[in-house]
């Protein structure tokens, strides 16, 4: 037996158990895995813009029936705190994580890794992430992977392998051709007709127009208003992990042929603006990204966001969305949705809405794990009937 693990063997073992896609932010320790996955025609690697986005995207893939793998350097664990604590833990969405150990105590490394190197294990424990050392011998790979898979299936929670330096063998990647620059998308002229809708009115119109499309609603009053208007197994209410709804929707859309509409807020979209870059890059053809913009954090008292200084449609078009527009009023919104749902996407629809506070607005009465379970079951049902 070797005292190092074959990177090919580890990925092949995961593949045999149905793991994938692979999503992550590179680390030099992870290079052999990433290169091998990229070279495999039957596997896919998504280069995320940050680690939190990677986990949210992977969580969407898990809801669509996959067993995703998230790979990152431990310096990015801070970006995982939000989704680990308020998405994966709350909804019981299991994802396999491989996190490298930079700054390992007693070993020389760059100064920026010292503190996280000491804190990695404690941080994972605090976030209820069961973890183990990455196997150090080929003979340990299968039992280690099977133990991780068993944990995820029993608990519905993520499992992490902590990877030390020089544990895996190198892999020589095949020559690659640099990707061509993506052309910008079509920027549709803004349309305004009739009075500005409230967010609740816009959500009701979208829910009707979306038909059988899957709907992912961001945290705060957006998800609450969608639930109050109409609850369906095809709805996912992101009760936490602010900013992650569009990345989760991207993960679903990449792994499913179903139309997906994500209802975002201006504050949530601004919190993780990088998600638009990944949506444009991945170009899921049936994703419609709607930003309901009231220029405020209404759920927390109406404090102003900076959305009045941001042009969401221009950003989306520059990121490679097929089209992007801003519409105000019921009929322009209805027309924009009809076009977006009928044409190859992704599409962005920016909708200025009026602030409106309903003190009697309730919260989703379905427990988050049940929201995830029935959403997953609905996707499986639709897939089975094809």
Q: How do residues 91-139 score in pLDDT, each as one tens digit? A: 999 999 999 999 999 998 899 999 999 999 999 999 999 999 999 999 9
Find the mean pLDDT for residues 200-225. Answer: 96
Tokens of 81: 């705190």
* Rounded alpha-carbon distances, angstroms, from residue 100 to 132, 166, 241, 324: 12, 11, 24, 38
Neighbouring residues of 234: CB distance < 8 A, sequence distance ≥ 6: 212, 213, 214, 215, 375, 378
Find the mean pLDDT for residues 209-220. Answer: 96
Q: Report the 10 Å Cβ neighbour count for 117.
A: 20
In the prediction, which pLDDT does 79 show? 95
In the prediction, which pLDDT does 298 show? 84
Beta bridge partners of 287: 260
- Residue 288 banded pLDDT, cuts 50, 70, 90: very high
Question: Among residues 252, 266, 259, which one has the least CA distance to residue 218?
Answer: 266
Q: What is the DSSP secondary structure assignment for residue 296, as one 8-state letter?
A: E
Q: Name the least confident of 167-181, 233-247, 339-353, 372-386.
A: 167-181
Find the mean pLDDT for residues 160-188. Answer: 91
- CA 224/CA 227 separation, integer angstroms: 5
- Residue 386 banded pLDDT, cuts 50, 70, 90: low
End-to-end CA distance of the chain: 46
Q: Is 65 exposed, middle or buried (0-12, 13-18, 19+ CB in 10 A)?
A: middle
- CA 234/CA 238 separation, integer angstroms: 13
Tokens of 159: 């499992």
1 or 126, which is more confident? 126
In the sheet with 96-100, reading across from the earlier edge strand, the strands are 45-47, 19-24, 67-73, 96-100, 159-163, 130-133
Q: Is 87 exposed, middle or buried (0-12, 13-18, 19+ CB in 10 A)?
A: buried
- Residue 1 banded pLDDT, cuts 50, 70, 90: very low
At 36-74, the pLDDT tens digits run 999 999 999 999 999 999 999 999 999 999 999 999 999
CB 198 within 8 A of CB 356: yes
Find the mean pLDDT for residues 6-28. Answer: 96
SS3 content of the chain, % helix, strand, coil (to 5): 45, 20, 35
The domains found in the chain, sorted by start residue, are 7-163 (3.40.50.970), 186-384 (3.40.50.970)
At 131-162, the pLDDT tens digits run 999 999 999 999 999 999 999 999 999 999 99
* Rounded alpha-carbon distances, angstroms, from residue 39 to 8, 28, 174, 182: 11, 17, 7, 22
Q: Name the least confident of 172-181, 220-229, 233-242, 367-376.
A: 172-181
In the prediction, which pLDDT does 96 show? 98
In the prediction, which pLDDT does 301 show? 81
Tokens of 335: 């027309």
Average pLDDT value for the chain: 95
Share of the chain above pLDDT 90, in %: 90
Tokens of 156: 């519905």
Find the mean pLDDT for residues 344-361. Answer: 91
Could you tell me the sign of the dihedral formed by the alpha carbons of 138, 143, 144, 148, in that order?
Answer: positive
Chain center to CA of 243: 9
Q: Name the least confident of 15-29, 176-190, 332-346.
A: 176-190
- CA 99/CA 164 separation, integer angstroms: 9
In the prediction, which pLDDT does 2 show? 53
């Amino acid at each position: 037996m070797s005292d190092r693990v074959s990177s090919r063997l580890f990925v092949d073992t995961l593949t045999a158990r149905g793991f994938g896609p692979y999503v992550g932010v590179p680390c030099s320790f992870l290079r052999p895995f990433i290169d091998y996955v990229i070279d495999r025609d039957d596997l896919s690697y998504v280069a995320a813009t940050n680690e939190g986005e990677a986990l949210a995207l992977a969580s969407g893939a898990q809801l669509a029936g996959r067993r995703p793998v998230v790979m990152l350097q431990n310096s990015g664990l801070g970006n995982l705190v939000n989704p680990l604590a308020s998405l994966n833990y709350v909804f019981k969405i299991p994802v396999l994580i491989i996190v490298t150990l930079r700054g390992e105590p007693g070993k020389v490394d760059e100064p920026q890794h010292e503190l996280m190197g000491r804190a990695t294990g404690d941080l994972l424990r605090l976030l209820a992430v069961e973890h183990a050392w990455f196997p150090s011998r080929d003979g340990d790979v299968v039992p280690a992977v099977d133990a991780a898979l068993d944990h995820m299936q029993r608990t519905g929670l993520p499992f992490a392998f902590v990877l030390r330096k020089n544990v895996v063998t190198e892999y020589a990647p095949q020559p690659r051709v640099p990707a061509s620059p993506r052309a910008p998308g079509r920027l549709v002229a803004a349309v305004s007709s009739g009075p500005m809708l409230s967010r609740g009115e816009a959500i009701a119109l979208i829910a009707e127009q979306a038909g059988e499309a899957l709907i992912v609603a961001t945290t705060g009053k957006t998800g609450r208003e969608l639930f109050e208007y109409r609850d369906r197994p095809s709805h996912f209410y992101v009760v936490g992990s602010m900013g992650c709804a569009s990345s989760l929707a991207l993960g679903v859309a990449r792994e499913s042929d179903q139309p997906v509409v994500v209802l975002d807020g201006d504050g949530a979209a601004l919190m993780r603006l990088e998600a638009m870059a990944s949506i444009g890059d991945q170009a899921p053809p049936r994703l419609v990204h709607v930003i309901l913009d009231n220029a405020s954090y209404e759920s927390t008292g109406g404090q102003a966001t900076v959305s009045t200084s941001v042009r969401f449609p221009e950003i989306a078009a520059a990121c490679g969305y097929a089209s992007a527009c801003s519409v105000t009023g019921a009929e322009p919104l209805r027309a924009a949705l009809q076009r977006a749902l009928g044409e190859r996407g992704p599409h962005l629809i920016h909708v200025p809405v009026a602030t409106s506070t309903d003190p009697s607005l309730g919260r989703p009465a379905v427990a988050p794990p049940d929201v995830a379970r029935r959403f997953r079951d609905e996707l499986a049902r639709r897939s089975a009937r094809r």
